[in-house]
Amino acid sequence: MTPVIPTLLALVLGLLLPAATSPLPATSATPATAATATAAQTAEGPRRFWVKDKRRYTSPWYAGERRKMISFGCTRAPYYDPDPRCTDNRGYHHGLDIAMPCGTRLFAGMRGRVVDPSSRGALGPSYGARAFRIRNHHHDVDVVIAHVRRVFVEPGDRVRKGQLIARASDAGAPDGCHLHFEARPKRAGYRDAVRPHDYLRLRR
């Protein structure tokens, strides 16, 4: 009987120890991550619209009539770190997002020159790999066109008003295809972005 006890003990310990020492499953998340995921999800998938405005707008910058997704400024959208300018731990969105199908044609709403991507105020990966800026010296502004594919202009190109410049996509975006439109003073970074509505010129 004596040899059986160590064998049973080893068997019991072998069953208990892996459960006690195994890592958390890959699907587990920290409370902050879980809260963000919950806030961004709906029964149909990721939540896209974080504005009450359901009207559709036209603009010289894109084809068709489109809805706003995320407004400029403080927002409940969970993709941005809490900002001291905002209440209730809201983040700050430096542009205006307009929902549209992938492949929607994007046009230059003003004339300008395509900025060297490595110059001051360069865009990070969250804008998508093909995002670019158009500089207009008359308005002293750099307009950011982000989450795009099939870009039809290159750095240094002069663009005319109404010229086809790109097609919309979801590159770098967690919430589907849209145009991220941002306006900054020339050579400035995203923290200096200004209200873009006067440049986007939305019409109902």
What digits encode the pLDDT tens for the residues 20-73?
A: 333 323 322 222 333 344 445 555 667 899 999 999 999 999 999 999 999 999
Q: CA torsion sign, 106 to 122 to 197 to 199?
A: negative
Q: CA torsion sign, 74 to 46 to 79 to 27?
A: positive
Name the CATH architecture for the domain at 45-200: Distorted Sandwich (2.70)
Residue 114 in this model has a pLDDT that exceeds 50: yes
Q: How many Cα atoms occupy the beta-carbon half-sphere of 196 within 13 Å?
A: 29
d(CA 86, CA 93): 11
Q: Model-level pTM?
A: 0.78
Q: Where are the domains of the chain?
A: 45-200
Type of residue at 19: A
pLDDT digits (tens, 9 = 90+) for 170-200: 999 999 999 999 999 999 999 999 999 999 9
